[in-house]
Amino acid sequence: MTDKKPENLKRRGFLLAAGVGGAGAVAAVTVGVGKEKAPPVAIVKAEDKAGSYQETGHVSNYYRTARV
């Protein structure tokens, strides 16, 4: 938690109460958050087309979203 301002605590409480967080966060179902690089704005296909990934000036670090 990088921000402990009251308004964000309120937001946090709302998210947790709405079911976003808690046990679900522990499930860590997505693969490689913060570990695997992925293409930007990937219209992701089931098969990983990482081979077509091109690192250009427009491409920033981006974390894998395709595989869940």
Partner 1 sequence: MSAVLDVRSAPVLSDEDRARAEHYAVLSRLFASAPDADFLHRLPTLAATWGSSGSALGQAWLMLGDAARGIDAEQLEDEYTRLFLTIGRPDVMLFGSFYMAGFLMEGPVVELRADLAELGLGRRFGVTESEDHIAALCDVMRHLIVTGPDTAGLGRQQLFFTRHIAPWFEALCEALERAPDVRFYPRAAALVRAFFEIERLAFDML
Q: Which residues bind partner 1 (CB under 8 A)?
A: 1-3, 5, 7-8, 10-12, 14-30, 33-35, 39-46, 49, 52-54, 56, 58-63, 65-68
Least distance to partner 1, CB of residue 1, Å: 5
Are 64 and 31 a contacting pair, CB within 8 Å? yes
Placement of tokens 């250009």 in the chain: 56
Q: Token pair for residue 60?
A: 């920033």
Q: Residue 9 Cβ, how far from partner 1 at the closest point, in Å?
A: 10
**Spatial separation of the C-alpha atoms in residues 51 and 31, rounded to whole Å:** 18
Q: At its nearest, how many Å lie between partner 1 and the CB of residue 43?
A: 4
